[in-house]
């Protein structure tokens, strides 16, 4: 275990739970985040946005729960098996984590469909790549293609002990495919192929509708305090 300096950010309005106040702990700027250190931080409940690696430290709330999937124990439910079958015609291609215009155009379509009331919907090309790329990380942009047409992009960080699902955006006109769910299922399969034990899904917020899908993957592990707690079918996130 390596020790690094952390700093506490300012309080601000929560992006997920209306009326709540949020505060983040950040890995100090200037720290070299090689893969072993970044893996350690993710395993301790951190997440990244661009080059910022953070963990919630909110004064009156503990709703953001880091979750991960134990790859070798996961078994898809009936709905997930249906999603896998529906998308079995797609081809997945790994691309470098650099700006591509067609990725950016899909990203804006996705945001304007799903998050039209947010600031991200007007992201510039610089905002887009700054948010998804990481200067010190091992990041891949996985394209999901239907006969060459781009349907989705999954941004994935490769860790020493797993994959971290950073962000997925997809064609809003392809809603019946459940591409967000399929991207997670594909990452589970890819982690298994690479013989990696974990897929990290970031934060599960039970009161946030847009985060609810994470609870459909079981068994799931939730980081409560300083330990990972197993959640089976029907279990809620302990607080």
Residue 116, judged by CB atoms within 10 A of its CB (0-12, 13-18, 19+), counts as exposed
pLDDT range class, residue 207, cuts 50, 70, 90: confident
Containing domain of residue 133, as a range? 68-201
Within a domain: 159: yes
Structural domain total, the chain? 1
Within a domain: 25: no
pLDDT of residue 209: 77
- Region 102-125 average pLDDT: 84
Within a domain: 32: no
pLDDT of residue 239: 54
Asked if the model's pLDDT at residue 94 lies above 70, the reply is yes
Question: How is residue 108 written in tokens?
Answer: 């804006």
Residue located via tokens 């592990």: 221
**Residues 153/169, Cβ–Cβ less than 8 Å:** yes
pLDDT of residue 219: 93
pLDDT of residue 121: 66
pLDDT of residue 210: 77
Q: What is the pTM of this model?
A: 0.93
- Region 88-113 average pLDDT: 96
What is the rounded CA–CA span in Å between residue 230 and residue 223? Answer: 9
């Amino acid at each position: 275990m390596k020790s690094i300096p952390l700093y506490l950010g300012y309080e601000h309005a929560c992006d997920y739970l209306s009326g709540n106040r949020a505060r983040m702990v950040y890995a100090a700027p200037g720290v070299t985040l090689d893969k072993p250190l970044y893996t350690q931080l993710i395993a301790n409940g951190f997440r990244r946005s661009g080059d910022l690696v953070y963990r919630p430290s909110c004064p009156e709330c503990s709703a953001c729960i880091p979750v991960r999937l134990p790859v070798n124990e996961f078994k898809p439910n009936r709905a997930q098996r249906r999603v896998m079958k529906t998308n079995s015609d797609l081809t997945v291609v790994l691309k470098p984590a650099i700006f591509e215009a067609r990725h950016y155009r899909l990203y804006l379509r996705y945001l304007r469909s799903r998050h039209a009331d947010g600031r991200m919907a007007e992201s510039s090309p610089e905002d887009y790549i700054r948010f998804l790329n990481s200067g010190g990380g091992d990041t891949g942009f996985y394209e999901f293609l239907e006969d060459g047409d781009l349907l989705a992009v999954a941004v994935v960080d490769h860790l020493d002990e797993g994959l971290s699902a950073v962000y997925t955006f997809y064609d809003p006109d392809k809603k019946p495919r459940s591409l967000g769910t399929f991207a997670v299922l594909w990452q589970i399969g890819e982690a298994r192929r690479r013989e990696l034990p974990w897929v990290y899904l970031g934060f599960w917020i039970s009161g946030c509708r847009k985060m609810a899908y994470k609870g459909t993957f079981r068994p799931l592990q939730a980081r409560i305090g300083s330990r990972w707690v197993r959640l089976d079918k029907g279990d809620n996130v302990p607080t």
